Amino acid sequence: MNEEKNPREPQMENPLGMEPVSSLMVRFAVPSIVAMLVSALYNIVDQLFIGQAVGTLGNAATNVAVPLTTSCVALSLLFGVGGASCFNLTMGRGKKDEAVYFVGNALVCLAGSGLILCVLAQVFMVPLLKLFGAPADVLPLAETYVRITAVGFPFLILTTGGCHLIRADGSPQMAMICNLTGAVINTILDALFVMGFHWGMAGAAIATVIGQVVSAIIVIRYLLHFKTVPLLPKHLKLQAACVKRTAQIGLASFFNQIAMMIVQVVLNNTLTYYGALSVYGEAIPLACAGIVIKVNQVFFSVVIGLAQGSQPVESFNYGAEKYDRVRKAYRLAATAGVIISVLSFALFQIFPRQVLSLFGTGEPEYFEFGVRFFRIYLFFIWLDALQPITSTFFTSIGKPAKGIFLSLTRQIIFFVPLLLILPRFFGVDGCIYTGPIADFMAAAVTIIMAFFEFRKMPKYAVQHENAV
């Protein structure tokens, strides 16, 4: 009997297992949303200043650089989300001494992967940018920008992934502060370097790196003073089993970002090819798509913030076998996500030209293509919140295979095949219509998987109660 009670002691003491779910969701989700918004604004701010100072080619150059930034986020989520989920699941089971190793190992993996990606990006810069769809007139601007931003990759990965560990420690406000500080610095320096000193692409890149370095320093300082359990040097020694489990849990979020990167690469190349065959040329579709996708990232940052805010609540309570609290956390996140999705849909349908104008001016063809891309490509955005929230839910409860599959549905299973087929028949318009079709199909799969998972969950609770 004593063995049965011991695992339950932490859940009685930990607020994740005791406080009202709605209060926990507000406490964790709001800072997570702010942190994700700030991260999204990093690229948005750069593009705003570059669009005004450099123009359409500058906007196209930042779009070409997006796959590398996405790679950083993918590695951050692999070890950050994986480490945070493993930590909370293990804490929920009452194994405090074991849980802290997931934090230490995740921190080492974040730093190491950032250094490796930085080196690879510098060595293979030009081939990578060409692979990402950079036309000849855009390539020099893209190279200038990425040569500098690549220096910040280790700091970006450490900050993004480290913030997940900070939230797992019950300090979502600190995670928000880490990101917010870097973003404020980036914005101020962008104005100074790009508009004041007229450094163009290089100025925007330098501002970004400085902001990332400051954020990373704050993250490291916090993690060295971890609240829940002390983080000691021995916890930084890599353990194969620990790294393997962390990677398994984080794979869903990782693959989701990799899928987004693949989509970005294929989309860039498709837009460049079919744009050259249209009245718009190569640069206009590439630049407009970059703006639409980055603006859409602002919407997704809110949704992902909701998902991340629910992650500690779902993980801990699933580990503690409090399934009613797991269901409530998911329900609250999904409801809020749908409301935000509907509001975003209205904004993008009513004010697309106004949004485009924020990123500089262009020829009439620029606005014509951009408005159509906004309205059609994002037509089913009101359904898009369900997939990342549900994918994170599966990861949070220790079912990475389902999370991985769900994360791949929209981008790889549906989007890429459609992107390879539709433009053959409809030209550059085929690229535009690929988005809403993939969104609708992915949403349908998400709803079905969530329905069946929650239909099974009460049975697990009943079985446990009967066993006890």
SS3 helix, strand, coil % of the chain, rounded to 5? Answer: 85, 0, 15
Strands (E) across 257-399 are located at none
Q: Which of 5, 138, 124 is nearest to 64 (CA)?
A: 138
| Amino acid in position 251 | L
Q: What is the CA radius of gyration of the chain?
A: 22
> Which single residue is written with the structure tokens 């993939």?
438
Q: Which of 298, 419, 396 is nearest to 347 (CA)?
A: 298
81: Cα separation from own chain's centroid = 11
Residue-level pLDDT, tens digit, the chain, 468 residues? 333 444 444 444 577 778 888 888 888 888 878 877 877 776 678 878 888 888 778 878 888 888 898 899 899 999 998 999 899 888 888 888 899 999 999 999 999 999 999 999 999 999 999 999 888 888 999 999 999 999 999 999 999 999 989 988 988 889 889 988 998 999 999 999 999 999 999 999 999 999 999 999 999 999 988 888 888 889 999 999 999 999 988 887 788 788 888 888 899 899 989 988 888 888 888 888 888 888 888 888 889 889 878 888 888 888 888 888 899 999 999 999 999 999 999 999 999 999 888 887 778 888 999 999 999 999 999 999 999 899 889 988 888 788 888 878 888 899 999 999 999 999 989 999 999 999 999 999 999 999 999 888 764 544 444 333
Res 456: pLDDT: 86
> Which single residue is written with the structure tokens 């080492």?
108
Q: Which of 410, 404, 390 is nearest to 454 (CA)?
A: 390
